[in-house]
Amino acid sequence: MEEKEKTFLDEPVIHWGELTRENLLCLSRYVDVALLPVGSLEQHGPHLPLDTDSYDAKYILEEAVKLLDCPKPPILPTVAYGVSDHHMSFPGTVTLRPETLEAVIMDIGRSVATHGFQKLFISNGHGGNTSVLNVVARKLKKETGLLVFIDSGDSMEPGKKELVKTENDVHAGEYETSTSLANRKELVDTDAIPELEMNFPHPSMSFDHKPNFQFAWDTHELSSVGVLGDPSKATAEKGRELWKLGAELMAERIKIVMEMRGYL
Ligand SMILES: [Zn+2]
């Protein structure tokens, strides 16, 4: 029996930027969801690369998409900068103002909607972006009808709960160092991994405290080493399991979004 010729639609991952305009048009007839990684360029302690959030936001999308049936939604190029003002006292951080990030995502959303996509699924690798993205989601819905879904590390949560033992582990700690050891070991300076050193003004203001009681902190106020969590507990094995569980849940979520009808 003659084998059916493979096309770009059979690729395990489809990157928007690598398609011709004709192939993008063709794909938009099959799928109405576009995927957008949003990250940051900010200090991640003395031991992790500055682009950790951007790399991770894209990586989990790629791993999730591999688990989906064809045809798959395309992954837009990563928005590699985010709102990182709270890390500016450490070297290497480049931040956008919240209004700049809002303007960038609004324009990406408008463009995607113009080309026939009705939904935008954002994989957000950086907590500092979340409040802006929520505002954008509402504005884009009102202006263009585009439905925006935001996964700010939420797909990683069940795995984190199971595998990460450190409380308040949110930045360059056990979780992020494990995931980096799993897929970019060569970029982790394991000799520079610091001890746990984190102080909150009051116990009720810690990240894991319920009910939540947050304020606009700067990272150096909570940790002189710029690490929120305990990277000394990180292992590559833990990281691999975190990625696996996270990608599975994100794939499920993208599938739900792809199959959603009747909201538009
Ligand atoms: Zn990070």
**Per the structure, how many domains does the chain have?**
1
Tokens of 5: 């010729």
- Residue-wise pLDDT for 145-196, tens only, equals 999 999 999 999 999 999 999 999 999 999 999 999 999 999 999 999 999 9
- Count Cβ atoms within 10 A of the Cβ of residue 188 and give its class: 0-12 exposed, 13-18 middle, 19 or more buried: buried
Per the domain annotation, does 2 fall within a domain?
no
Per the domain annotation, does 1 fall within a domain?
no
CATH number assigned to the domain comprising residue 250: 3.40.50.10310
Q: How many angstroms separate the alpha carbon of residue 228 from the centre of ligand 1? A: 10
Per the domain annotation, does 48 fall within a domain?
yes
SS3 state of residue 228: strand
The model's pTM:
0.96
Q: How many angstroms separate the alpha carbon of residue 41 from the centre of ligand 1? A: 9
pLDDT of residue 214: 87
pLDDT of residue 249: 98
Per the domain annotation, does 5 fall within a domain?
no
Tokens of 232: 């000394």
Below-70 pLDDT ranges, the chain: 1-2, 262-264
Q: How many angstroms separate the alpha carbon of residue 176 from the centre of ligand 1? A: 7
pLDDT of residue 263: 63
Per the domain annotation, does 161 fall within a domain?
yes
Query: Which residues, at least 6 apart from 254, have a Cβ–Cβ distance to it below 8 Å?
Result: 33, 35, 64, 65, 68, 73, 121
Q: Which of 99, 65, 71 is nearest to 10 (CA)?
A: 71
Per the domain annotation, does 59 fall within a domain?
yes
Amino acid occupying residue 74: P
Q: How many angstroms separate the alpha carbon of residue 14 from the centre of ligand 1? A: 25
Angle at CA of residue 122, ends 253 and 71, nearest 5°: 60
Q: How many angstroms separate the alpha carbon of residue 238 from the centre of ligand 1? A: 17
CB 121 within 8 A of CB 73: yes
Q: How many angstroms separate the alpha carbon of residue 152 from the centre of ligand 1? A: 11
Per the domain annotation, does 8 fall within a domain?
no
Q: 239 lies in which domain range?
A: 13-259
Per the domain annotation, does 264 fall within a domain?
no
Q: Which of 81, 126, 87 is nearest to 225 (CA)?
A: 87
| Adjacency order of strands within the sheet including 147-151 | 33-38, 119-124, 147-151
Tokens of 146: 């585009």
SS3 state of residue 145: coil
Q: What is the rounded end-to-end Cα distance, in angstroms, of the chain?
A: 43
Angle at CA of residue 45, ends 42 and 48, nearest 5°: 80
